[in-house]
Amino acid sequence: MGVSKQQAIENKQAIVAAAAKLFRDRGVAAVGLAELTKAAGFTQGGFYNHFKSKDALVATVMGDAMDGAAAQFVASVEAAHAEAADPLRRRIEWYLSSEHRADIEEGCPISGFAGDIRRLSTQAQQSYAQGLARNFEQLASVIDGENSHEKRKAAIALFSQMVGALLLSRAVVEADPALADEILEDGRQAVGAGFVSSVA
């Protein structure tokens, strides 16, 4: 008996979900198809029913991750507004939190794939670049002001500082947890003072 169309969709989603977690946790190059398909509950033959190659899977994972991050940002802004909170401050506090630092598998894909992206396919790199640009646009949308060019410049600077602080904190958290926490704390204070107060 053949696989139903709905089951085929679910099977593909299972492969993408397993790949997304493994790629973020270990890096794309470190994850082989045998391990990936086993984690998703399929054989390698089953993998090729859904993707022509690992590169095709990587491109799908990247596109889905960027779409998911954009949707999460919209939801966070709506939640902040519903609670009469500043969405920009909320974003900074979440991004530079110990919880987000530990959540590599489900956290921001921009930071999650930052070390891998230059070695991936052109399609994956394009999805990443588009996701990065969308992040800048979304951040700019919650920065007060009338000048769209200045708001975009501020968003680029803000997000770059946030990603840098998060990556450095993740890099040393096992070797020096106190330093890792210091990076997040000082990052939150510096970014908050430099952006939230100036746009409030």
Mean pLDDT of the chain: 90
Q: What domains appear along the chain, each with residue ranges and CATH number?
A: 1-51 (1.10.10.60), 53-199 (1.10.357.10)
User: In the block, which residue shows the tokens 């990076």?
Assistant: 183
User: Each residue of 60-84: pLDDT tens digit?
Assistant: 999 999 999 999 999 999 999 999 9
Q: Mean pLDDT throughout 88-100?
A: 96
Q: What pLDDT score does 46 carry?
A: 76
109 neighbors 66 (Cβ within 8 angstroms): yes
165 neighbors 99 (Cβ within 8 angstroms): no
Q: What pLDDT score does 195 carry?
A: 64
Q: What pLDDT score does 151 carry?
A: 95
148-172 vs 177-191: helix crossing angle, rounded to 10: 170
Query: pTM for the full model?
Result: 0.86
CA angle 180, 184, 190 (to 5 degrees): 140
Q: What pLDDT score does 4 carry?
A: 74
More confident call, 4 vs 167: 167
pLDDT of 162 higher than 60: yes
Q: What pLDDT score does 48 carry?
A: 85
Q: What pLDDT score does 128 carry?
A: 96
Q: Mean pLDDT throughout 5-32?
A: 88
Q: Mean pLDDT throughout 120-127?
A: 95
